[in-house]
Structure 1
Amino acid sequence: MDESPGTGALRVVVVDDHTFYRDGLVGLLEESGLVVVADVATGEAVLGAVAETQPDAVVMDLSMPGMGGVEATRLLSEHHPSTPVVMLTVSQEEDDVLAGLLAGARGFVLKDGPVEDVVKAIREAAAGRAFLSARVSRRLLEHVQRTHRRHGGSRFTEQEIDVLSRLSEGESPETIATSMGTTERAVRRLASDVVTKMQVENRGEIAVRALRDRIV
């Protein structure tokens, strides 16, 4: 698996409004070999923290008072596009998953999952790929399948859908790679391509609506 774009341990900013959870997560990430360069409690604060520390990735809580994780992620994508965001939440509802990913998040991990998932998501995001827990993959798969059918099968490849489907069933990238006769990195890239296509498609649709409605 790819490591930091630079050298040494990956540098991370953690954003969560619950102090007890945030402190615990910071400790677990540091025990896993990551360096937490800042931890903040609000979406408003993360923009300054990222500008100051230039981390390799941000771990962002979805639900926070004031500026929520989706809006903070959207602003980070605009002002710090090279800093990937991993969304962390208790929700696996499709609308929440899609909102986070379409805002620009490169990973989506549930809070009740193992910390190893968070670490994997950070490393994948820092390497330019996406990471989704199995339960989140199921939600994304439902959206992808509907979109695929609506556009006559032109949006996603069958291989991308197959990988996403198997991830949603709990298969590991390593197992999927072995059965497909490819590498684990290639499997992760296919899953990442789904997220990228979805984000690009969303930006395109926003632009079309803006022109149609004479907003721009």
Structure 2
Amino acid sequence: MTSVVIVDDQTLVRDGLRLILELADIEILGEAADGAAAVELVRRTRPDVVLMDLRMPSLDGIEATRRIAAMDVPTRVLVLTTFGLDQYVYEALRAGAAGFLLKDAGRERLVEAVRTTAAGETPLAPAVLERIVNHYVRRPPPGLVKPPRLEALSNREIQVLRLVAAGRSNPEIAQELFISLATVKSHVRHILSKLGLRDRVQAVVAAYEAGLTTAGDDAGSTP
């Protein structure tokens, strides 16, 4: 059974999340109202997934995510966010979050995201991903340069990485590049290995920081 810790400073939000997840036979190991309590709770209970709010008193969700990611636990952090928190979401991904979900996502989407995260996949809410792409890829910070380590990637791997950053799923990448799903999975594994990344989310962040996609680019146009 998938186990979860719920972290949010609003009692009503925690109650609602608990009800939805328990009805789906997901085990709730505990709740926390701030980041410091969340870190300690995760240390004691070692859940599969933490549902993490970002803006909380005492210790925010970004720092809590960073501390949990550094711990020797199998826990993965699924960030709960709203449309107005692009900067916070990006920082949470850099801190080690495994994915992010809109707070107004429906019941089924929430349950699916929790189970997908526990299984090692990376739920990326498309609407939020689009906003992050617009902010960090179409308008990259001044002075952003391509990290030398990206030179280790082949042209095809660069293509795949850019499509991953654009929010494409593996089947969508396969269709767009006219290659098999197995080949896409192989490329993604090689990208993670060559760049020393933990998962797909870190690959997305690396692509943003490398400035691989800019306004007007066609992500699949690299030869």
Decide: shared fold, TM above 0.5. Answer: yes
After TM superposition, give the deviation of residue 179 of structure 1 in Å: 3.0
Amino acid paired to 1:197: A
Report the CA distance between 1:176 and its aligned residue. 2.1
Q: Residues 131, 144 of structure 1: CA spacing in aligned structure 2 closer, same or farther, 3 A cutoff?
A: farther
C-alpha distance 64-124 of structure 1, shift in aligned 2 (>3 A): same
Stretches of structure 1 that go unaligned for 5 or more consecutive residues are 1-8, 168-172, 203-216
Deviations 1:84-122 (A, max 9, x none): 100102245431221110111001111012233332332
Tell me if 1:160 matches 2:155. no
Structure 1 residues 166 and 44, CA, compared in 2 at 3 Å: closer, same or farther?
closer
Secondary structure of the 2:47 match is: coil
In 2, are the aligned partners of 1:92 and 1:135 still within 8 Å (CA)? no
The aligned runs of 1:70-149 (5 Å cut-off) are 70-142=62-134, 143-144=136-137
1:179 aligns with 2:178: no
Give the Å deviation of 1:186: 4.0
The answer to whether structure 1 residue 151 and structure 2 residue 146 are counterparts is yes
Q: Do the aligned partners of 2:81 and 2:102 also contact (CA within 8 Å) in 1?
A: yes
Does the 8 A contact of 1:15 with 1:42 survive in 2? yes
2:98 counterpart letter in structure 1:
R
CA 44–193 in structure 1, closer or farther in 2 if over 3 Å, else same: closer
For 1:3, the equivalent position in structure 2 comes to: none
Alignment of 1:14-25 (within 5 A): 14-25=6-17
Change (3 A) 1:129 1:175: closer
| Secondary structure of residue in 1 paired with 2:14 | helix
Q: When the two structures are superposed, what TM-score results if normalisation uses the length of structure 1?
A: 0.71
Q: How many residues matched?
A: 186
User: C-alpha displacement at 1:178, in angstroms?
Assistant: 7.1
Question: Which stretches in structure 2 are left out of the alignment for 5+ residues?
Answer: 193-197, 209-223
Q: Deviations over 1:120-166 (max 9, x none)?
A: 3322322333211011221343435667x942975872123224435
Contact 1:63 1:89 in 2 (8 A): no
Instruction: Detail structure 1 runs of 4+ shifted over 4 Å in the superposition.
Output: 144-147, 152-156, 189-194, 198-202
Give me the whole-angstrom Cα distance separating, in 1, the residues matched to 2:185 and 2:108: 21
Displacement, 1:59?
A: 0.6
> What's 1:33 paired with?
25
| Partners of 1:44 and 1:135 in 2: CA distance | 29
**In percent, how many aligned pairs have the same letter?**
32
Give the corresponding residue for 2:202: 196
- Check whether the contact 1:141–1:161 (CA below 8 A) recurs between aligned residues: no
Distance 1:35 1:85, change over 3 A: same
Deviation of residue 81 (structure 1)? 4.9
The answer to whether the 8 A contact 1:92-1:139 is kept is: no
Provide the residue aligned with 1:13 in structure 2.
5
* Structure 1 residues 128 and 87: alpha-carbon distance in aligned structure 2, compared to 1, 3 A threshold: same
Instruction: Specify the SS of the correspondent of 2:181.
Output: coil
Rounded Cα–Cα distance in structure 2 between residues aligned with 1:92 and 1:194 = 23
Displacement, 1:83? 1.2
Greater displacement, 29-38 / 136-145: 136-145
The one-letter code of the counterpart of 2:181 is T
User: Within 1, Cα distance between the matches of 2:172 and 2:122?
Assistant: 16
RMSD of the alignment, in Å? 3.4
Paired letter, 1:27:
L
